[in-house]
Structure 1
Amino acid sequence: MRKTTRSLLAAVGATMAFGTLSGCTSTSTTDTTTPAQPAPETTSVVAFPATARYMADMAAPDGKTMTIGVSVDGAEVAAYACNGIDDEAWFFGNQTDGAIDLKSRFRDTLAADFDGTDLVGTVRMNDVDYTFTAASVSGVAGMYTAESDGVRASWVVRPDGTATGVQFSGFAEGNRDFDPFHLDEFSDFDVRNNVRNKRNLSPAGPIEFLPDGRPQASINGVSVTPTLVTGTFRLG
């Protein structure tokens, strides 16, 4: 009787052990779950409108206000920044996927991105950084320039018609070793200290608009009709 009981218990134990082993084997062979992979990062590109103008006033550390205007036409960009007294910078080039990265003839820099509404960036002039958020403008607002007898006046006009402008009247003595139109071979230091700071700059005269929107101004007493600067505009 005891032998029969021991045999029965041994058989039951073997059956339970086999069932447990079979269950473990089944679980390991059917577990095909893989760790979730992170979603790939995506970069959102915001394209400029086909044609647009932007402007902003920027606070300067010295208390002066630097004003910037930017015009975009397709891929082409023109920009102008000035403080209305004694400093200015022109920028020309192209935008790529809503981003602008330009350098002026006198080694100032402009970097900005279009966020779908505004143009946000930094302009560096004479080793000073000015940050800005430039809103889209229309009507008379934008950049204008005019020339008379070798003197150029340029303005950034706000939507209310007020303007900030600078007049460029050539170069002072002391930069005879530098051709201001061929500066590629010179360092940034040389350009800034031997050409940029030799410019004769002064406040531009007022710019006004006729009832039909046409601009008018004068340079050294000579009447001129300023040109609205578009993204395709380039200085000679």
Structure 2
Amino acid sequence: MKRAGPYLTLAAAAVLGGGLLVTNTLTGLNRDANTAGTATAPASPGASTVVNFPQDADYVTEIATDSRPITLSLTVTGVKAVGYACDGASVENWMRGAAEAGRMVLKGNNSQLEGTLVGDALKGTLTLGERTYDFLAPPVQPPAGLYLAQTANGRDSWIVGPDGSVTGVRRAPDGSTSPAPDLAPNARKVDGDDDDF
């Protein structure tokens, strides 16, 4: 039997190799066409995950002013929040509003608060009358928070700080204000959905 010459062998190898190359190229093109449009788009550079408030949370901070410092307490229950700012002498402001998707907007008598969760703390601005203050309020654990008691002498309100300090104001039935007495044993904790003030 006669063997094929070397030229014939090389030609056969060239034809086979060319066929494989064409097949691989076409397969790759088909694969690219089939997967076009199915790739996941990269996340936009500024995208961030929304952080929700805990179901129940309290935040307390002190704000420096030109006169007496103002103590601020914020309490959240579900998607509602209550804020109370006082100087422990005569200034006090109650606010209420929504706390959703990591953002809080509260309004009261001649006062407003806007805050956003940054980490686990609440950062924002408090407006009392014509003045606006920046604040950063960390979360606190009980017994810290906001307390209230209705008495014959009026309404007593207290903010208990994380160090156990107490700041409060009494509002008499005639609307006048004065420093609150010591935290009363019957004082109740204020929740974010309260409206008893």
Residue 115 of structure 1 aligns with which residue?
A: 118
Partner residue in 2 for 1:87:
91
Q: 1:205 to 1:150 in 2, by over 3 A?
A: closer
Structure 2 counterpart of 1:152: 155
Distance of aligned partners of 1:169 and 1:108 in 2 relative to their CA distance in 1, 3 Å threshold: same
Aligned pair 1:57/2:33, yes or no?
no
Residue 121 of structure 1 deviates from its aligned partner by 1.1
Q: What are the residue-to-residue correspondences of 1:1-236 with 2, within 5 Å?
A: 39=44, 41-62=46-67, 64-104=68-108, 106-149=109-152, 151-171=154-174, 199-207=175-183, 216=185, 225-235=186-196
Letter of the 1:206 partner, please give it.
D
Q: In terms of mean alpha carbon deviation, does 90-99 or 39-48 score higher?
A: 39-48
Cα root mean square deviation, aligned: 1.9
The answer to whether the 8 A contact 2:83-2:106 is kept is: no
Distance 1:40-1:137 versus aligned 2 partners, 3 A rule = closer
Q: Give aligned pairs, total.
A: 156
CA distance in 1, matches of 2:91, 2:82: 17
Secondary structure, counterpart of 2:138 in structure 1: strand
Unaligned stretches of 5+ residues in structure 2: 1-41
**Hey, what's the Cα distance between the residues in 2 that align with 1:139 and 1:74?**
18
User: Unpaired segments of 5 or more residues in structure 1?
Assistant: 1-36, 172-198, 208-214, 217-224
Q: Which residue of 2 aligns with 1:211?
A: none
**Which digits, 9 at most, give the CA deviation of each residue in 1:30-59, with x for residues without a partner?**
xxxxxxx99464244221111111100110
**Equivalent residues of 2:156, 2:170 under 8 A apart:** yes
CA distance in 2 between partners of 1:113 and 1:148 (Å): 35
**TM-score, normalising length: structure 2:** 0.73
CA distance in 2, matches of 1:109, 1:39: 33
Compared CA separation, residues 118 and 39, structure 1 to 2 (3 A):
closer
User: Percent identity, aligned pairs only?
Assistant: 31
Q: 1:122 & 1:137 partners in 2: Cα distance?
A: 19
Preserved CA contact (<8 Å) 1:47 1:116: no
